[in-house]
Amino acid sequence: MWLLDIFIKGDENGIDRARELRESRIPFVYISANSNADILHAANDTQPEGFIVKPFRKEDVYPLSR
């Protein structure tokens, strides 16, 4: 499982990467501090396993790793 930030430095963003992961059937969870409704809607369309809001604690991540 990948932990994937919605915003990645460079030309590609996390949503683009998520589409590639989904096509390869690789599970992923978004981590993001962004709460923009349009971005969250686009992210949700990629069917992530979940979302973790920054800042987060290790206790927030552990249940997703099972």
Give the per-residue pLDDT at 38.
Answer: 87
Per-residue confidence of the chain (66 residues) as pLDDT tens digits? 888 988 877 777 889 999 999 999 999 999 888 778 888 899 999 999 988 888 877 777 766 666
* One-letter amino acid for residue 43 of the chain: A
> CATH number of 2-51: 3.30.70.360, 3.50.50.60, 3.40.50.300, 3.40.50.2300?
3.40.50.2300
Q: Can you tell me the distance from the alpha carbon of 4 to that of 36, in angstroms, rounded to the nearest whole number?
A: 17
Give the per-residue pLDDT at 6.
Answer: 85
Give the per-residue pLDDT at 44.
Answer: 92
Give the per-residue pLDDT at 3.
Answer: 87
Give the per-residue pLDDT at 11.
Answer: 77
Secondary structure class of 22 (helix, strand, coil): helix
Q: Alpha helices of 24-66 — where are they, by DSSP H? A: 37-44, 58-61
